[in-house]
Amino acid sequence: MSKPRKSPIRFAWRSACKSCSALFQWCYSAIVLLLVSATIFAAYVATLDDIPVPNFIIRELQSQLRNKGIDLRMSGVRFQPNGRIIFQQPELYSPELGSTIVAARSAVAKLKLSHLAFGSVAVDEVRLSSGRFVIPAMLTPSGEPATAIRSINFEATHRGQRWNIDYANCAIGNLKVSFAGQVDDSLLALPPPNPDAPKPSISQAVLKFAPKITELQQELKRLEAPFCTVDLSVLNKQQSADIHVGAKRVRINPETLVHDLVVRAQYTLGARLHAKVYAHKAELPQGTIVEKIHLDANWPENTPPQQILPESIHFSATNATLRGITLPSLYAVAHPGSETHSAIVQFSFPQSPIVARIEHQVASKTSSVDLTAQLDSATLEALNPIALELAKQDLTQLASLEKAIDLHAIAQLDEAFKPSRLEAFAQAGPTSIQGANIDYASTHATLRGPQIDLHAIRLQSGKQKGVIKIGYNLDTLLRRILVEGSFDPTMINGWFKPWWSAMWDGMTFPEEGMLTYLDSQATFKRPDTVFVTGTGYVRDLDLRGMPVDELRTRLFSLFHYVDLYDMELATADGQQAIGEIQFHMDRDVRDEKDKLTGIWIQAQSTLDVKNAPNILWEIADESAAILEPYCYDLPPYISARSASVRHLDEYLNDIDLELQTETAFTFYGFPFESLDAFVHIDDDVIDIPRAEARLGDGLVKATAFIIGDGLEVDAQLDQVGFGQALNASNTYFANDGSETAQAMDPERLLGFGGKMDAQFRGNGIVGNPVSFRGDGSFSIADADLGSFRLFGLLSSTINALNLPILKHLTTLEFSRAKSPFLVEEEIVRFTAGEIDGPGASIKTNGTYNIETDALNFSARLFPLRNNKVPVITPILNLPLDLFSNIFEISVGGTFDQPKLSLFNSNTREKIEVESTAPNREHRPTRR
């Protein structure tokens, strides 16, 4: 069997494999030889420390620096086989500035050996140790070179077309800066220089950079232990930065200090920028301290460089204090935008936060604020320390809330962040404001430009209710208040200065208060410009102890001056008064109290003036002194004009009173049936130019002038009933303490009847009847003078004589009397008295002692005289006088128990007679 024939293809394949095997064996041998050679070369290099630095590298470097105006100086340079060049104490010196610019302990640059083979320089590692930047002497105030940046340490390696900055540290002043990161080679490539542009100079750069470094050093003095750390990654596909900045303390200004400030910012190109700020404590002006401040800011993705504002800002601060006072924490969220900025600010009070929504229009630079709040007791208590510190007001004492006050305000702000428009609403339930208890209150307020208006403050307290409107202009500072409703003025005493409460002191208003319409206008901070007009009406008022049924008045007030005019007052028992009262109040600097400084009254009244000391208790003593002499059963009609002005602690008075009454009236205890008088009172002077009083169906006219206790009087009696006058006089002396007058029977005095005319002019002490001196006269007609005990005793004496011619005169009757008289204190001296009757006449003179009732008279009795026929009486009486002139009578004793003695007028011989007049068991005398 023959062998199969070999295929040509198979032979060719085997030939190719043999060739490949030989080639592989050759390559393998070459690689082994190369590795062995490299190992031998590496072992050789390892045994070397330094090798000479290629001159072309140093020359190239010096040449480039010299072109920049810088000389490279060093103490030595080494080149290691691994490609590192080590510069010992390198310096960059500027011949132009005559100073070293940059210096270091050492600088290392690792060159790529592969590039050296082709005559080029490429660096893949850079190191700098203990470097510093020096400001030339010509740029420093001291004239000596100064180190601006010190401790510069830097290390960077080049791997895979990027630089890895392992660390970069330096110190600028007290600021420590640390830098690390990665940067792509392509991003470090500089654009080709403009051939037409001037070549940059290192000296010029230093001249620009040095002042900025000096300024930065000055700013850094406000920081304690500042630091700055930057972690940078600048790659083609991803670029990011992480910046960490802070300081132990930052002095922003003399009044602001921030402790432990830390700022952290993170940014990735194409992603969000995020920044955080934290401060442990901030000391702000006016003793404000805020602790634990947090601020987070976020920028949107792909933020353009020109957009500085973040997309959102979150801010919070806790443990805030103002001069030791704890404040509520604050939380805010802001959303800046290209057209509108918005924010929500919340003050975190214990139970009811205050929330403000703010919007700011970028184009118009205007803003709007929407504020909502509920002010409850806890919120007031939280705000109270602030009010005490800033406004010196204790909110817990000013107001007490049973329910929260609902508050809603909307404001428009202009470019200066000042309100141009505002509208606010508030509503409150049961509330106590400075002692005023309010059941319900609501208000609507607006601001239009400079004008602030509270359109309607509706108040209700029990039966009291009304509306108050307030307007205030910020430009003119003019404010206006309108009040309409029924209010008790004393309810709001705590709202005003003490003069307000002093004005209403002692008045008790009804539950529904006083119906009031008031218009008050003033200029802010100008209390002297305050003036008020209005009307008031009230029923059932207690006016300082006097019940008033109805009172209406109109009001005008300027500062502390008040005028109540068109006043009408009526009491339940029919007393009335109309007129005007003006008064002024001011602060007494001695005790810092508001006091009445003057009061003016012009009125017509039938009120009981005895209430004046109670109503006008500021001048109670003066009023009581003026009214003390007067007493009445029914109050008189009075037309009064008075002015009382306070000087130091006394009131100077100028008062005109016109009194009219048709009922019983007493003056210093002397009773009159009616009175019509005009009285002028001026401090210690009382002038009564006219006084008319009815007494005993007659008229008493008098004028008087009183200075202190001194009284000058001119009085006249016209046809006054003699018996009534005796009874009135007896009443006066009885009230003054006379026991004789007190024991006198009024019916007996009234029984004398008759009419009397009299006049007296004299002076004395007010209220003291035995102090007067003066003269006068009197005449009595148609009186039963014989009923006097004195004349009864005289009749008994005549009967005892048993004279035949006098037997028909069993009883002496006298009906007329007249005499001038002198008053010398307690003595009344009668100089030429005449007492006439149908059958007898007496001519007498003598004295009467008002104090002791003692009589001392001498008289001539004409028992046979006839006065019935006026024409022939003198002719008939002439022979009778010859006989009757033999009797002379001496009268002693007292008016109530007289003693008579008869004398012969020719011989002065006493005629003894026995009196049959009854004796009293006692003789009343004046105490």
Beta-sheet strands, E only, within 683-790: 685-695, 698-707, 710-721, 755-765, 768-781
The span from the CA of 710 to the CA of 704, in Å, is: 10
**Most confidently modeled range among 204-208, 302-306, 437-441:** 437-441
pLDDT above 70 covers a percentage of the chain that reads 77
Q: Which of 357, 362, 245 shows the shortest CA–CA distance to 308? A: 362
pLDDT tens by residue, 578-608: 989 888 878 777 777 777 788 888 888 887 7
Mean pLDDT of 383-389: 73
Predicted local distance difference test score (pLDDT) of residue 135: 87
Q: Which of 53, 118, 130, 126 shows the shortest CA–CA distance to 91? A: 130
Mean pLDDT of 510-515: 89
Residue 595 structure tokens: 């006091």
User: Of 265-269, 474-478, 611-615, which gets the smallest average pLDDT?
Assistant: 611-615
The span from the CA of 676 to the CA of 658, in Å, is: 7
Residue 259 has pLDDT above 90, yes or no: yes
Alpha helices in 594-721 (DSSP H): 612-615, 620-627
- 667 burial (CB, 10 Å; 0-12 / 13-18 / 19+) is buried
What is the distance of C-alpha 38 from the center of its chain? 99
pLDDT above 90 covers a percentage of the chain that reads 10
Residue 271 has pLDDT above 50, yes or no: yes
Residue 924 has pLDDT above 50, yes or no: no
Which residue has better confidence, 248 or 559?
A: 248
pLDDT tens by residue, 846-870: 888 888 878 888 877 776 555 444 4
In the chain, the amino acid numbered 534 is: G
Mean pLDDT of 10-29: 56
Residue 114 has pLDDT above 70, yes or no: no
**Residue 2 pLDDT level (bands cut at 50, 70, 90):** very low
**Residue 153 pLDDT level (bands cut at 50, 70, 90):** very high
Predicted local distance difference test score (pLDDT) of residue 1: 43
Residue 684 structure tokens: 């210690």
Residue 1 structure tokens: 């069997």
Predicted local distance difference test score (pLDDT) of residue 74: 84
Q: Which of 868, 829, 861, 826 shows the shortest CA–CA distance to 846? A: 829
**Residue 841 pLDDT level (bands cut at 50, 70, 90):** confident
pLDDT tens by residue, 78-112: 877 777 888 888 888 888 888 888 999 999 888 77
Mean pLDDT of 555-573: 87
pLDDT tens by residue, 73-87: 888 888 777 778 888
Mean pLDDT of 539-547: 84
What's the DSSP call for residue 47? Answer: T
**Residue 397 pLDDT level (bands cut at 50, 70, 90):** confident
Predicted local distance difference test score (pLDDT) of residue 655: 84
**Most confidently modeled range among 66-75, 126-135, 600-609, 614-623:** 126-135
Predicted local distance difference test score (pLDDT) of residue 377: 79
**Most confidently modeled range among 2-6, 431-435, 471-475:** 471-475
Predicted local distance difference test score (pLDDT) of residue 80: 77
- CB of 235 closer than 8 Å to CB of 162: yes
Mean pLDDT of 27-33: 61
The span from the CA of 195 to the CA of 204, in Å, is: 19
pLDDT tens by residue, 737-773: 777 777 778 887 787 788 889 899 999 987 787 888 9
pLDDT tens by residue, 334-354: 988 878 889 998 877 766 778
Predicted local distance difference test score (pLDDT) of residue 279: 92
**Residue 357 pLDDT level (bands cut at 50, 70, 90):** very high
The span from the CA of 910 to the CA of 161, in Å, is: 171
Phi-psi region of 328 (alpha: psi -120 to 50; beta: other; left: phi over 0): beta
Q: What are the respective helix, strand and coil percentages of the chain, to the nearest 5?
A: 20, 50, 25
Per-residue CA distances from 28 to 34, 41, 348, 588, 619 (Å): 10, 20, 82, 123, 136
- CB of 335 closer than 8 Å to CB of 342: yes
